[in-house]
Structure 1
Amino acid sequence: MSKSKAFAVIIPAAALVGWLGYTFWQAYQPQPERMQGQIEAQQYNISSKVAGRIEEVMVRKGDQIQRGDLIFTLLSPELDAKLEQAKAGQQAAGAMAEQAEKGARSQEIEAAKDTWRKAKAAAELRGKTYQRVDNLYQEGVVAEQKRDEAYAQWQAARYTERAAYQMYEMAREGARVETKRAAAEKARMAAGAVAEVEAYAADTQIESWHNGEVAEILLHAGELAPQGFPVVSVVDMNDAWAVFHVREDKLKDYRTGAQFEARIPALGDQKYAFAVSHVAVMGDFATWRTTDPAQGFDMRTFEVEARPVKPIDGLRVGMSVLVE
């Protein structure tokens, strides 16, 4: 056999042996691990602190809203009625406080003064009558009983005069300081009740407290909205993060502040930088993983949150995030 024929046999055989060796070597090399997570974002539920019927929803799913934008309005006739009641109570309390402050009217003061004068005149008359009866008693004309009766009537007339005078003085002085203060506090309490109902009434015009995108509309015009029930859900993609479930033995690479690169298949093959912002152990259910008996312990699973280092255009909630 010539040398050329020998080389023609040896070279393919050597190439085959080399390829088989490389294949076996590759097969026993550790394969890169892939960890998959998903994108989540801050979500806000917009609701009302009063119950009512939805009058109108001003937004649609996908709308971009800003803080202060009107989201929906409520119809609540009950609140309107309560507001009228509160305002009427406020006016009544204010009138009572004003009356206490001003005191009695001039006509009431004059009436009390005339009553006192009448009682005074009656007392003077009773006094003179007693003097006449007493003189007759001294002369022996009338019995002692008649004199005693005249004296009692005179004393009663004096007490009536004194009571009438005190009523007149009370009318002149007006209400006591404590009464005025109580009336003023009742007026202030009524004003607080009006302010409370007005605050509830203002909450029938619901505005957004956050910027974001409308993700869900749970109730529509004509439907009843219970107190605190979410009507519109808003998601803020500027406050988004990726969530991964990491085994305990891999956790050393994902400490708070650590950065890594990940790919988002929905956005192409480009890699994006993420920084770990939060690490927390998951619940005990189904998070334990048995290790080799030689290691002597079971590994737990931790939830790792990582936020994009820079804003990512087109990012949506639920997109997969791959880390190798």
Structure 2
Amino acid sequence: MKKNIIILLGLFALVSCKRKDTVNGLVQGKVEREEIAVVGKVAGRIVKIKVNEGGLVKRGDTLAILDIPEVDAKKIQAQGAVKSADAQYNMSVRGATANQLKQLYAKQSALKEQYDFAKKSLARIQAMVSDSLVPQQQYDEVYAKYQGALAQYTAVGAEIADVKNGVRIEQQTMALGQKDRALGALQEVQTAEKERFIIAPQDMTIETITLKVGELALPGYTLFTGSLKGSAYFRFTVPESSLAAYKKGEEIEVYIPYKNNEKLVGVIRNVKQLGAYANIATAYPDYNMQDALYELSVAPKNIADADGLQTKSTVTINKK
């Protein structure tokens, strides 16, 4: 029994050493893709989800449909406000109706008769006052009636002129402002109504769907996450002591272990310092803990070569 244990420990040590030797000659990394989050702008309950995780969507495709009952009520209110404001503005521009003008002309005709009678009465009494046939008090009374008839006749003429020319320009401007305000409110509601449809902003692969049908989507909450098509790249972690061996713009061979170490060519597109230990890409760190860590971003030379690779799968490059 003791002999068997010793043999097993020996085999384990041999495998471990071989694995370490293999790892020591490689730098491990991960396949990454640029991701995008799709959020809602207004609160609503999900009534339909039109995509599945892993599905490909085009820019402009509908991902989900929300139920927003408040928008329908506000739309009816806004449409009523627009109709009312439009009628007010048209009335201020067009002035009085034909029937209103008829009434004013009839009023003018009646006042003209009163004015003519008062004018004749004043002419007759003036002659009688000159001959001292009537007292001055009676003349003053007739003159006052004449002035009143003249004022009323002049006023109705001005009223007819106003309604023919429309109301004051200030009132027309005020009515136009109310109309524009109502139209703006309607446009705002129509914009909110469009937000019931959650639209794909770019061509992408759906990675996660965070809510289900019947759940409430709040403004700003991420409803979908997706990876952008043609955005695959490789991320490797190297210590500062090895940094000089990797140059930006340099071509480098990348191997895909889960595809029998299939090889493709990549280009180092960026080198940046890592600010968090959690971002380390390798599973077997063998560097000095005092070394600063850097991330190599490697883009495939031919993007089509990386389109079929699984996100977060392991890739390797030869250690320099």
Q: Shorter-chain TM-score: what band?
A: 0.7 to 0.9
The equivalent residue for 1:243 is 235
How big is the shift at 1:129?
Answer: 2.8
Match of 2:149 in 1: 157
Correspondence for 2:310 among 309, 316, 320: 316
1:299 is displaced (CA, Å) by 5.6
Residues 129, 66 of structure 1: CA spacing in aligned structure 2 closer, same or farther, 3 A cutoff?
same
Q: Please, what TM-score do these two structures have when normalized by structure 2? A: 0.78
User: One-letter code of the match for 1:91?
Assistant: K
In 2, Cα distance between equivalents of 1:227 and 1:317 = 29
Query: Deviation above 4 Å: which 4+ runs of structure 1?
Result: 176-186, 284-287
Which of 198, 222, 225 matches 1:206? 198
Q: Quick one: distance in 2 between partners of 1:164 and 1:313?
A: 85
Provide the rounded CA distance (Å) in 2 between the counterparts of 1:230 and 1:281.
Answer: 29
Note if contact 1:237-1:315 (Cα within 8 Å) is conserved in structure 2.
no
Q: Is the 8 A contact 2:232 2:307 kept in 1?
A: no
Q: Does 1:254 align with 2:246?
A: yes
In the TM superposition, residue 280 of structure 1 has moved relative to its aligned partner by 2.6
Q: Tell me if 1:68 matches 2:60.
A: yes
- The CA deviation string for residues 52-109 of structure 1, in whole angstroms up to 9 with x for no partner, is 1111111222222222322100001111111112222222233233334433211111
- Answering whether residue 299 of structure 2 is matched by residue 307 of structure 1, we say yes
Deviation at 1:148, TM superposition (A): 2.2
* Partner Cα distance (1:285, 1:151) in 2: 106
Counterpart CA distance in 2 for 1:142 and 1:164 is 33
Aligned mates of 1:237, 1:132 — CA distance in 2: 103
How far apart, in 1, do the equivalents of 2:307 and 2:101 lie? Answer: 83
Query: 2:140: which partner in 1?
Result: 148
The structural deviation recorded for 1:284 is 8.7
> Partner residue of 1:97?
89
| One-letter amino acid of the counterpart of residue 54, structure 2 | G
Which residue of structure 1 lines up, in the alignment, with residue 123 of structure 2?
131
| Stretches of structure 2 lacking an aligned partner (at least 5 in a row) | 1-22, 280-286
Q: Report SS of the residue matched to 2:261.
A: coil
User: 164-173 or 203-212, which moves further after superposition?
Assistant: 203-212
Count of residue pairs brought into register by the alignment: 286
Structure 1: 5+ residue stretches without partners: 1-30, 293-297
Counterpart CA distance in 1 for 2:277 and 2:256 is 29
Alpha-carbon distance, 1:303 to partner: 2.6
TM-score (ref. length: structure 1): 0.77
Query: Over the residues paired in the alignment, what is the CA RMSD in angstroms?
Result: 2.9
Measure the CA separation in 2 of the matches of 1:65 and 1:102. 54
Q: Does 171-180 or 148-157 show the bigger shift?
A: 171-180
Q: CA deviation at 1:231?
A: 1.1
* Contact 1:71–1:207 (CA under 8 A) maintained in structure 2: yes
Amino acid in the other structure paired with 2:246: Y
Alignment of 1:1-324 (within 5 A): 34-176=26-168, 179-180=171-172, 183-184=175-176, 186-236=178-228, 238-283=230-275, 300-310=292-302, 311-312=305-306, 314-323=308-317, 324=319
Cα offset, 1:42, TM superposition:
1.3
The answer to whether the 8 Å contact 2:232/2:306 transfers is no
CA shift for structure 1 position 136: 3.7
CA drift of 1:318 comes to 1.6
Partners of 1:271 and 1:111 lie apart in 2 by: 96
Structure 2 CA distance, aligned partners of 1:140 and 1:240?
Answer: 117
* Identical columns (%): 26
